[in-house]
């Protein structure tokens, strides 16, 4: 959803801080890449899962990652007037589900830090609210993965 603001508006707004603006767009691209990566990883983890209870916890995060990717696309479009699509990255493989879950806990928490940085750089409340939703989802994913880890670590 493009806000109808001329892209030159942002050039004027960030003229003194142009590297910061470019950094924001780079961070959004990084976030999109991470969301694509995690969605693929979580699909693989669901296939590794032996119980429906664990699969459902992972599926929750899997569905959100797709939503987040689209939200980042909307944010990028709102800032630039351009749609972008990030190619699917290579995803590491795991022999044990618990190892994938452990790295997912850390990944979700690292995403929260990255997304807070992005949120602080956004120019309006609507975009910051979108990041707030993504951040709280990522925090919930970390909590769900801690729960899954506790089940698997018995």
Tell me what percent of the residues of the chain surpass a pLDDT of 70.
86
Name residues whose C-beta falls within 8 Å of residue 142's C-beta, 6 or more positions apart in sequence.
105, 108, 109, 112
Question: Residue 22: inside a domain, yes or no?
Answer: no
Do the domain assignments include residue 6? no
Q: Specify the pLDDT at position 154.
A: 82
Hey, what are 33's tokens? 């890449």
Q: Is residue 24 part of a domain?
A: no
Q: Which residues contact 33 (CB under 8 A, 6 or more apart)?
A: 86, 89
**Predicted local confidence at residue 17, as pLDDT:** 46
Q: Give the count of domains, the chain.
A: 1
Residue 56's CATH number: 1.20.1260.10
Domain for residue 11, yes or no?
A: no
pLDDT at 16: 47
Residue 7 domain-assigned (yes or no): no
* Residue 13 within any structural domain of the chain: no
Kind and range of the H or E element at 150? helix 125-152
Average pLDDT, the chain: 91
What gap in Å lies between CA 127 and CA 78, rounded to an integer? 8
Q: Which domain holds residue 77?
A: 29-152
Please enumerate in sequence order all residues whose Cβ is within 8 A of that of 61, keeping only pairs 6 or more positions apart, or say none. Answer: 38, 42, 104, 108, 141, 144, 145
pLDDT of 77-108, one tens digit each? 999 999 999 999 999 999 999 999 999 999 99
- Whole-structure pTM over 0.95, yes or no? no
* Residue 68 counted as domain residue: yes
Q: Is residue 147 part of a domain?
A: yes
What pLDDT was estimated at residue 30? 97
How many helices, marked H, and strands, marked E, lie in the chain? Answer: 5, 0
Q: Which residues of the chain have pLDDT under 50?
A: 1, 11, 14-18
């Amino acid at each position: 959803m493009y806000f109808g603001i001329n892209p030159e508006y942002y050039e004027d707004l960030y003229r003194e801080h142009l590297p910061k603006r470019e950094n924001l767009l780079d961070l959004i691209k990084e976030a999109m890449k991470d969301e694509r990566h995690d969605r693929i990883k979580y699909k693989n983890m669901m296939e590794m899962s032996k119980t429906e209870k664990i699969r459902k916890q992972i599926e929750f995060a899997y569905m959100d990652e797709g939503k987040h990717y689209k939200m980042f696309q909307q944010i990028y479009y709102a800032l630039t007037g351009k749609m972008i699509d990030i190619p699917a990255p290579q995803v590491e493989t795991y022999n044990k589900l618990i190892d994938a879950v452990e790295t997912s806990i850390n990944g979700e928490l690292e995403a929260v830090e990255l997304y807070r940085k992005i949120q602080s750089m956004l120019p309006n409340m609507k975009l910051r609210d979108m990041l707030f939703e993504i951040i709280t989802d990522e925090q919930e994913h970390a909590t769900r993965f801690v729960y899954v880890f506790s089940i698997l670590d018995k």
